[in-house]
């Protein structure tokens, strides 16, 4: 864990000294630390944005290098979860650290009071807990915990640094066992395992019911346990059981018999090659465990009629209400799971947190749940849930009973005023028995809240214009997968018109799961199959001209890409004046995977940026996708002048600030007519590269055809080396795109992708 934290600090541009034990028998006394850095790079998902960040980490060891912590402003301890080991190490650190250094432990369950007991006042004032969730690059939550004497300024300094520099969602916690997320998360998981045994659910059934279907990551329950490691989960649960003797639900934290037997056999999950799942045979087929016999079988597809119907409901609260309203196997697992988690969470306030807000944020940011427990209660219907719990003879917590008696209908409610979004939470843990204002978080914009408070400037089924304030309008996509369809193009043009009339700048953003999965492939396939070539040509031309309008707009346009930005989505971003990109950016021109080439100006824009046809040929021909925003800049998909936001919650706010910074000097320019292309020589070189790949069996006949068409575009349409216009390159792109749409193998690839979500190499 220490190496993963070090990697993420390096991602943020921080120089790090990583100390570990000296491994007996190793000539390199820094072997353990060096191995940790290499592991953080090689593990998937990798801990680094780029290999370059490794240079910011200096490996060392506790015996030779401990005195060097005197140069460090922040010392983080992440050694094994044993109290005496931690205390002994801190005693050695305390003897050499500088007086004003900040000190934190990454313990996941040992009380800070026990770790710091007996240390000096100066140590205790600067000592706190910073519990990063693993892997720290990807999981948003950082729990910040005060010790018995922690200085408030130290808490604020670390909290702000984690938020602004490391991109974390910071949740202040009390010094209680397992803090907030692992206290509720352990109960959630333990309840799943109890229901599995109680009602005889299979591993596959549980994971089908407790994943994306209910707004939880697709790792669901048993798959998550394999990723975390059964030994880690068992340790956390056992630690919690030992530390909460007065918890009335304490027995639930004891592992079921099958889990204990798996630990005995060393079936720890992915780290040991098998857990609740394992891969079998040359095709790496997924087999699942029968927890009753501890034998494996080919994983079965789960079919529950109510679930198949519920998947068609896009509104998550409505889907959840539908799922728990029945009496079948889905409802019989989900309702008691939700009920117990809701009751347990309410009973823990104010023990583990004074507000419901921190409990909800911890579960959203640490476990990836769409709704925290109290948000889930509201989504299911506060009153109806209370009524059902009471009908079943389960006692409602005293604090919830007081809410009922006061006539309260929800844990949260809107408190918008004069076009400004606002939110209130019910003071469940305090004595006021009333709503309190949820404090603003400067720089954090929530588009749904803005639309609720002030409406929209314009809207259609797939996109909206939202006033961000201060003269900036946002074009928000909200179609399925945020595909680049006609709705999005219409709203982009409307946004440019509105910006020129009434705003200083425009931001293109959304807060969906991904920025954009690219073009609407279904419409492309249907048009190609029906031979609607004029309509398809017009649609591609509209997309090209929309991107050119963004590039040469009268006012600056800033894109705010995040997560997956593929195909047409990447082309749009590349044509904006600037991008304010999320650090987690998986961006690429991947059209070859569906038998096409980039048709919205992607080839053209890369030639303009990179000036190297061969490099562009490799980038698009291999469908390279960045592993981070840093890597996207190295590939040329982002400009060096584009900026990166570590905290995705702040992405739109940062994009707005960037857009405003461009307004005073903005000059729109005009389409270029002097783009240098390689001509016949470049075409020959690229064709030879494709031919070599084909001869070596690395690409198919159809890939070779696509490669030749791509080379034709990037060389400027053959002929001698010369300069061409941007429009000339766009015309070549459109011609190649349309010709490939007419190929049977391309249509097969598109159909396969739509059905299976994976590329077909035919």
pLDDT in tens, 245-277: 999 999 999 999 999 999 999 999 998 999 999
pLDDT at 718 over 90: no
Average pLDDT, the chain: 95
Please give the Cα distance from 130 to 171 (Å, whole number): 10
pLDDT digits (tens, 9 = 90+) for 484-536: 999 999 999 999 999 999 999 999 999 999 999 999 999 999 999 999 999 99
Average pLDDT of the segment spanning 289-318: 95
Render pLDDT for 607-664 as a digit per residue (tens, 0 to 9): 999 999 999 999 999 999 999 999 999 999 999 999 999 999 999 999 999 999 999 9
φ and ψ at residue 285, rounded to 5 degrees: -65, 145
Kindly indicate whether the domain formed by 2-172 is annotated with CATH number 3.40.640.10.
Answer: no
How far, in Å, CA of 15 to CA of 137, rounded? Answer: 16
CA angle at 240 for the pair 239 and 245, rounded to the nearest 5°: 110
H runs (alpha helix) in 368-485: 373-380, 382-391, 398-405, 447-454
Residue 137 phi, psi (nearest 5): -65, -35
Distance CA 140, CA 148 (A): 26
pLDDT bucket at 181, cuts 50 / 70 / 90: very high
How far is residue 621's CA from residue 685's CA, in Å, rounded to a whole number?
14
Judged against a pLDDT cut of 80, whether residue 112 lies above it is answered with yes
3-state secondary structure 461-517: CCEEEEEEECCEEEEEECCHHHCECHHHHHHHHHHHHHHHHHCCEEEEECCCCCCEC
Dihedral over alpha carbons 291, 292, 298, 304 (to 10 degrees): -80
Residues with Cβ < 8 Å from 480, sequence gap 6 or more?
Answer: none
CATH class (in words) of the domain with range 181-405: mainly alpha
pLDDT higher than 90, residue 239: no
For the stretch 558-585, pLDDT in tens is 999 999 999 999 999 999 999 999 999 9
**Nearest CA to 377 among 416, 431, 352, 340?**
340
For residue 626 the two structure tokens come to 């960045």
Strand, coil or helix: what is 59?
strand
Q: Are 760 and 753 in contact (CB under 8 A)?
A: yes
Tell how many helices (H) and how many strands (E) occur in the chain: 32, 24
**Cis bond leading into 350, ω under 30°?**
yes
- Report yes or no: 289 and 269 within 8 Å, Cβ to Cβ: no
Strand partners, 414: 423
- Say what the pLDDT of residue 431 is: 73
Look up residue 281 and give its two tokens. 């045979």
Structure confidence by residue, pLDDT tens digits, 14-36: 999 999 999 999 999 999 999 99
Q: Which of the four pLDDT bands, split at 50, 70 and 90, describes residue 430? A: confident
Helix 701-714 crosses helix 602-610 at what angle (to 10 degrees)?
60
Q: Verify cis geometry, omega within 30 degrees of 0, for the bond prior to 474.
A: no
CB 237 within 8 A of CB 259: no
Give the lowest-confidence range in 339-348, 717-726, 733-742.
717-726
Provide the pLDDT for residue 369: 97
Token output for 578: 């600037």
Percent of the chain whose predicted confidence (pLDDT) is above 90: 93
Q: Is the pLDDT of residue 551 over 70?
A: yes
Contact 204, 300 (CB under 8 A): yes
| pTM of model > 0.75 | yes
> Helix 744-756 and helix 726-741: axis angle, to 10°?
80
- Report the C-alpha gap between 182 and 281 in whole angstroms: 36
Per domain, the residue ranges of the chain are 2-172, 181-405, 447-590+625-665, 675-756
Q: Enumerate the H helices of 97-147 as residue ranges.
A: 112-116, 121-125
Among 577, 517, 569, smallest CA distance to 543 is for 569
Helix (H) or strand (E) holding 645: strand 643-645
Q: Does 447-590+625-665 match 2-172 at the fold level?
A: no
pLDDT of residue 429: 86
Q: Is the peptide bond before 720 cis (omega within 30 degrees of 0)?
A: no
Percent of the chain with pLDDT over 70: 100
Confidence at 45, pLDDT banded by 50, 70, 90: confident
Q: Report the C-alpha gap between 81 and 548 in whole angstroms.
A: 56
pLDDT at 721: 63
Tokens at 321, concatenated: 């209400």
- What's the confidence (pLDDT) of residue 44? 81
Task: Pick the closest to residue 178 from 240, 114, 112 (CA basis).
Answer: 240
Whole-number pLDDT of residue 108:
81
CATH number for domain 447-590+625-665, candidates 3.90.550.10, 3.40.50.300, 3.90.226.10, 3.40.50.1700: 3.90.226.10
Give the pLDDT band of residue 720 (cuts 50, 70, 90): low
């Amino acid at each position: 864990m220490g190496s993963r934290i070090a990697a993420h600090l390096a991602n943020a541009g921080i120089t790090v000294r990583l100390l570990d034990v000296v491994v007996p028998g190793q000539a390199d006394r820094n072997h353990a630390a060096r191995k940790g850095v290499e592991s953080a790079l090689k593990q998937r998902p990798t801990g680094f944005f780029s290999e370059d960040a490794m240079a910011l980490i200096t490996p060392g060891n506790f015996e030779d290098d401990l005195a060097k912590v005197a140069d460090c402003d922040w010392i983080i301890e992440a050694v094994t979860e044993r109290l005496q080991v931690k205390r002994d190490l801190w005693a050695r650190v305390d003897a050499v650290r500088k007086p004003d250094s900040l000190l934190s432990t990454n313990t996941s369950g040992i009380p800070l009071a026990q770790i710091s007991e007996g240390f000096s006042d100066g140590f205790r004032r600067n000592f706190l807990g910073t519990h990063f969730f693993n892997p720290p690059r990807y999981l948003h939550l950082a729990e910040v915990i005060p010790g018995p004497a922690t200085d408030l300024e130290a808490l604020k300094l670390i909290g702000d640094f984690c938020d602004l520099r490391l991109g974390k969602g910071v949740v202040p916690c009390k010094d209680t066992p397992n803090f907030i997320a692992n206290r509720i998360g352990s109960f959630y998981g333990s309840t799943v395992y109890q229901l599995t045994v109680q009602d005889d659910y299979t591993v596959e059934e549980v994971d089908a019911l407790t994943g994306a279907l209910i707004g939880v990551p697709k790792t669901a329950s048993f798959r998550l346990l394999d990723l975390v490691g059964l030994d880690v989960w068992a340790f956390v649960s056992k630690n919690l059981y030992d530390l909460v003797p007065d918890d009335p639900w304490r027995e639930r934290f004891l592992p079921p018999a099958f889990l204990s037997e798996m630990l005995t056999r060393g079936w720890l999950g992915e780290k040991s090659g098998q857990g609740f799942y394992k891969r079998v045979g040359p095709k790496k087929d997924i087999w699942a465990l029968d927890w009753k016999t501890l034998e494996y079988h080919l994983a079965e597809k789960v079919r529950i009629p109510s679930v198949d119907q519920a998947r068609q409901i896009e509104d998550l609260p409505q889907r959840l209400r539908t799922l728990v309203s029945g009496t079948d196997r889905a409802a019989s697992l989900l309702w008691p799971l939700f009920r117990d988690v809701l009751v347990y969470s309410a009973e823990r306030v104010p023990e583990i947190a004074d507000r419901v807000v921190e409990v909800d944020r911890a579960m959203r940011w640490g476990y990836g749940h769409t709704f925290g427990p109290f948000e889930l209660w509201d989504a299911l219907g506060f009153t109806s849930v209370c009524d059902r719990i009471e009908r079943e003879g389960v006692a409602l917590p005293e604090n919830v009973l007081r809410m009922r008696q006061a006539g309260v209908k929800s844990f949260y409610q809107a408190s918008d005023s004069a076009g400004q979004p606002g939110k209130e939470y019910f003071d469940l843990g305090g004595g006021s028995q009333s709503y309190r204002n949820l404090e603003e978080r400067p720089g954090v914009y929530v588009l749904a809240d803005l639309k609720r408070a002030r409406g929209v400037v314009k809207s259609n089924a797939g996109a909206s214009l939202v006033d961000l304030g201060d003269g900036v309008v946002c074009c928000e996509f909200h179609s399925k997968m945020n595909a680049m369809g006609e709705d999005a193009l219409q709203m982009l043009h409307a946004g440019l018109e509105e910006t020129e009339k009434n705003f200083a700048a425009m931001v293109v953003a959304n807060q969906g799961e991904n920025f954009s999965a690219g073009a609407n492939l279904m419409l492309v396939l249907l048009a190609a199959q029906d031979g609607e070539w004029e309509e398809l040509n017009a649609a591609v031309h509209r997309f090209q001209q929309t991107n050119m309008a963004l590039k040469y707009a009268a006012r600056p346009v800033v894109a705010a890409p995040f997560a997956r930005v593929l195909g047409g989505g990447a082309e749009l971003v590349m044509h904006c004046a600037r991008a304010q990109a999320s650090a987690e950016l998986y961006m690429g021109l991947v059209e070859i995977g569906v038998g096409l080439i980039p048709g919205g100006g992607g080839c053209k824009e890369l030639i303009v940026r990179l000036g190297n046809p061969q490099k562009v040929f490799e980038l698009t021909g291999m469908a390279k996708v960045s592993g981070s925003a840093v890597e996207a800049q190295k590939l040329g998909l982002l400009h060096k002048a584009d900026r990166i936001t570590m905290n995705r919650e702040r992405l739109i706010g940062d994009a707005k600030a960037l857009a405003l910074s461009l307004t005073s000097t903005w000059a729109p320019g005009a389409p270029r007519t002097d783009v240098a292309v390689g001509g016949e020589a470049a075409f020959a070189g690229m064709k030879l590269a494709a031919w070599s790949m084909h001869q070596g069996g690395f690409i198919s006949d159809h890939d070779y055809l696509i490669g030749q068409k791509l080379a034709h575009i990037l060389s400027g349409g053959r002929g001698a080396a010369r300069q061409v216009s941007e429009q000339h390159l766009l015309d070549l792109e459109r011609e190649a795109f349309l010709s490939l749409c007419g190929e049977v193998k391309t249509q097969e690839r598109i159909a396969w992708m739509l059905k299976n979500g994976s590329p077909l190499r035919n």
